[in-house]
Structure 1
């Protein structure tokens, strides 16, 4: 099954929160998941900006 970017973001976010609860905010696994979530969120934002740019709209 191929996940949408939004589904992947939500999955990693939930996994990160669970890991942080169990292992702590500064645990290696928590930090890895945080970096992955940042990467996915940046990708999502870039895709959203491309869609808005292609429609000729601007942020207000």
Structure 2
């Protein structure tokens, strides 16, 4: 079975939720609120990606 590119993980104590990218470049983003609206989260991630690409020149 093929490994997914993205996934959600919880911390061992179950107190934190992470959005993860498993393929390179891999990353792990801690979400402050597990109940975050997915549409709003996607919009803010797009804005963050835009900010990041502008900062890199």
State if a TM-score over 0.5 links the two structures.
no
Higher helix share: 1
Instruction: Please give the TM-score of this superposition, normalised by the length of structure 1.
Output: 0.36
Higher strand share: 2
Larger radius of gyration: 1
Greater relative contact order: 1 or 2 (C-alpha under 8 angstroms, separation 6 or more)?
A: 1
